[in-house]
Amino acid sequence: MIPGPHNAITDISGLRVGNAQDDALKSGVTVLTADAPFTASVSVMGGAPGTRETDLLAPDKSVAQVDALVLSGGSAYGLDACSGVVAGLRAQGRGFRVGDAIIPLVPGAIIFDLLSGGDKDWADTPYPALGRAAFDAATDHTDIGTVGAGTGAMTAMMKGGLGTASLRLDTGATVAALVVANPMGSVTTPGDRHFWAAPFEIDGEFGGLGPDPASGLGRSMDSRKLTAMLERANTTIAIVATDATLDKAQCQRVAIAAHDGIGRACVPAHSPGDGDLVFAVSTGAMALTAPTDLGLIGHAAALCLTRAIARGVHAATPAPDDLLPTWGQLNADI
């Protein structure tokens, strides 16, 4: 397994990502859409999720495919970003048709970034406009770090961010992840330098420092984030995707497996205060070739998600009035 040409979710043909953010707000929106509707499901393992239309993605529900997925800052306000994406899809004549009616299907999930600094004293919620802007900006490339829904993200000890990673399998399929890293837990070991995800790094994609040689790791619960915010409101939300043909039940199984990626990269993970959620997407361009393919795709999705979390935090950039430093600021001597 090797990364795709861009080491990004857009290495899967037909998928596009759009980002929009308001730097004064310190928040933003990320949208995944495609040239055609795609199969999707979801798995939630955090104790405090914020979602829209995720019930549609259960294997027993009648809707087979959706038009876009939204990852947003803004907590409950950010769910309105989906409305902006719905408007953009409707303007293009895209959506589920019932007679003459068009209904764009856009599930979404949010992170809590309301206490991350920035001007949150708005009269009208900015998230529908940010959602529309992110949809309109969708391309076959995505930036990472302090961008889109990762703009206001924070981990326990440093700024979080938007990350992505991909792998090409020997079967010919591509698997990838797109994530907003905003966990209650840390993504680096004590000392703020080595990533928990280091054993899974490929080609120095988040610094190349390797695993922490220290022993007794994982016992510290120190958190600059809790000190700064006095609030246990967090989340890691992600999308994993493949061009292999999967039905909704198989997508759900991949989403469940991909949660291992959060557990490897964030310590602790899946806490009562986290809203940890993973969407899984199939574009259906390539048939499964063996009974073992599904397990391999789930494993690869977890690997991609682990790497994407570290990449997003590693790429975060400083901004005025940040509550936490970036990984780069903490490791300026490297």
Condensed to tens digits (0 to 9), the pLDDT of residues 275-314 reads 899 999 999 999 988 888 999 999 999 999 999 999 999 9
Q: How far is CA 190 from the centre of its chain?
A: 24
Q: E strands of 156-264, at which residues? A: 161-168, 174-182, 235-244
* pLDDT classification of 214: cutoffs 50, 70, 90: confident
Torsion angle defined by CA atoms of residues 125, 89, 71 and 112, in that order, rounded to the nearest 10 degrees: 20
pLDDT at position 63 over 60? yes
The amino acid that residue 45 corresponds to is M
Beta carbons of 45 and 109 less than 8 angstroms apart:
no
Beta carbons of 67 and 105 less than 8 angstroms apart:
yes
Per residue in 104-138, pLDDT (tens digit) is 999 999 999 998 888 888 989 999 999 999 999 99
What is the predicted pLDDT for the residue at 264? 94
